[in-house]
Copies of this chain bind each other. A is one copy, B any other.
Amino acid sequence: MPLILNDDQKLLKDSAKDFFSKSMPVKQLRQIRDDEVTECYSTDSWKEIVDLGWSGITVEEEFGGLEFGYLGLGVILEEGGRTLAASPLFSTCVLGAAALSIAGNQEQKSELLPLLVQGDLILSLAIEEGAAHAPQRTRTTASKSGDSFTINGTKTFVLDASSADKMIVVTRTSGEAGSNAGLTLFLVDSNSKGVSITSHKMADSRNACTVVFDNVSVPAANVLGQVDNAADDLQDILSIGQICISADMLGSTREAFERTVEYIKMREQFDTILGTKQALQHRAAQLYTEIELAKSVVIAGLQAIDEGQRGDALAKTASLTKSKVGETFTLASSEAVQMHGGIGMTDEEEIGFFLKRARTTEHTLGDVRYHQNRYGDLLGL
C-alpha cells in the first residue's frame, strides 16, 4: 500500500483540522484547567465529536460504526493533537473499542459497541500499577469464587476513569508477576461496590486516576476474552493504543514545531531576527527531518493495523512508531521552549502546554525506554 492518504481520508483530515481549531483550540484546555472541570474535558465538545460520528470511526457497521479504519481515526487524533484537544476519544474509542472488538464476545459487542458509538458509554483501561509500563508484571488479582470473580489491587494512571461508566481491568487470575500467562481482562462497572476512584490533576491538565479494587465482585460473564489467556489480546489492544497515541503525539509535535519556526521568524534579539541564526536553523532543519521520519512511522503503523497485522509483528511496528514519535515529541517540545526563550517559560504562552503533554503521552502505554528495549528483543538481539 502506498504510504499516503486516499481522497476520503484527506477530506476527513480537513474536517478534523477545521473542527479542532475552531471548537477545541488550546485555549479551551487552559479554560478547563482554570475552571477545575472534573472530567478535564468539555462534555459539549465530546457530544460534538460523537455527532460527527468520530466515536465510531473504527467500529464495524453492524454495531453502528463507520468502519472507516485506523488511518481515518489517525488523522482525527493527529488534528486533535495539534490543539491538545482533551476528550475521551483515546480511552474510549481507541482502547475501549479495540478491547471490545478484539476480546469481546458477540453479546458484549452487540450490547456495548452501539452505546459507545452513540457516546453513551465512556470506557477506561485500568492497566498500569507503577512508574513503568509492564503488563506482564500485573499484581492485581482476580480470584474465582463460584460464578463470579473477586478483584483486589490498585491501578494507577487510569486515563479518564473519573468519567468512565465501565473500566476494562487487567488482572492476574494465575501465575506469578512477571509472567504473561495467567492474565485476564474484566469489564467492571465504575460504580461497583469496592471500587474507589481518586482523581489526579496531571501536569498536562488531563485527568488520570488511581483506582483501588477492594474485594470487588464481578460476574464471570464480564470476562473479556479468555480466562488466564488475555496476553495475546492485550498485546494487540496495546499495540493499537500505542500507534494511535503516536498519531495524537505527532499532531502536537508538528504544531509545536511550526509555532516555533514562526516564532523565530519574527523574534528579534541583538538587532537580528533569531531565525537568521544558522545554529538555530540547523537545529530546526534536523528537527524537521526527525518529524518527517515520525510522519512516516505513524502512517505506516496505522496502515499496518488496517491491513490486519497483529501479534509480535504489530508489537514491533508499535514500538518502532511510539519510540520514534516519543523521542521526536520530547525533542520538539524541549527545543520549542528553549527557542521561545523567557516567554516560553511563562504560563501565559501556550507552548508550555505542549511540553507538558509530551511527557504525559511519553508515559502512556510505555516510554521510549520500554519500546526500544522491546524492539531490540523482538529483533532477536
| A278 located at the interface, meaning its Cβ lies under 8 Å from any Cβ of chain B in the complex | yes
Q: Which residue of B lies closest to A281 (CB)?
A: B279
Contacts of A277 in B (CB 8 A): 278
**Chain B: CB-nearest residue to A280:** B278
Q: Which chain A residues (273-297) contact chain B, with CB distance < 8 Å?
A: 277-279, 281-282
Contacts of A281 in B (CB 8 A): 279
Chain B positions within 8 Å of A278 at CB level = 277-279
Q: How far is the CA of A281 from the CA of B280 in the complex (A)?
A: 12
The interface residues of chain B lying within 8 Å CB-to-CB of A282 are 279
- Residues of chain A at the chain B interface (Cβ within 8 Å): 277-279, 281-282
Nearest chain-B residue to A277 (Cβ)?
A: B278
CA distance A282 to B286 in the complex (A): 15
| A372 CB → nearest B CB, Å | 16
| A284 to B: closest C-beta gap in Å | 11
Q: A279: which B residues are within 8 A, CB to CB?
A: 278-279, 281-282
Taking the closest CB of chain B, its distance from the CB of A200, in whole angstroms, is 29
In angstroms, Cα B277 to Cα A278, docked, is 7
The smallest beta-carbon distance between A342 and chain B, in angstroms, is 20
In the complex, how many angstroms separate the beta carbon of A278 from the nearest chain B beta carbon? 4
Q: From A277, A278, A281, name the one whose CB has the most chain B CB atoms within 10 angstroms.
A: A278
Cα(A278)–Cα(B281), bound, Å: 10
Closest 5 CB pairs of A and B: A278-B278, A279-B282, A278-B279, A279-B279, A277-B278
Tell me the bound Cα distance from A294 to B278 in angstroms. 28
Q: How far is the CB of A355 from chain B (nearest CB, A)?
A: 23
For A276, the closest partner residue in chain B by CB is B278
6 inter-chain pairs at a CB distance below 8 angstroms, sorted by A residue, are A277-B278, A278-B278, A278-B279, A279-B279, A279-B281, A279-B282
Query: Chain B nearest CB: distance from A76 CB in Å?
Result: 38
- In the assembly, what is the distance between CA of A281 and CA of B279, in Å? 8
Query: In the complex, A282→B279 CA distance in Å?
Result: 7
Bound complex: CA A278 to CA B279 (Å): 5
Cα of A277 to Cα of B277 in the assembled complex, Å: 9
Of the candidates A277, A279, A281, the one having the most CB atoms from chain B within 10 angstroms of its own CB is A279
Name the residue on B nearest A285 (C-beta). Answer: B279
Roughly how many angstroms separate A277 CA and B279 CA in the complex, as a whole number?
8
A281: shortest Cβ distance to chain B, in Å? 7
Tell me, in angstroms, the Cα distance from A282 to B278 when the chains sit together.
Answer: 10
A335 to chain B, nearest CB (A): 14
- CA of A281 to CA of B278 in the docked complex: distance in angstroms? 10
Q: How far is the CB of A339 from chain B (nearest CB, A)?
A: 14
CA gap between A282 and B277 in the complex, in Å: 11
Q: How far is the CA of A238 from the CA of B281 in the complex (A)?
A: 45
Q: How far is the CA of A277 from the CA of B276 in the complex (A)?
A: 11
CB of A141, distance to nearest CB on chain B (Å): 31
Minimum CB–CB distance from A279 to chain B (whole Å) comes to: 4
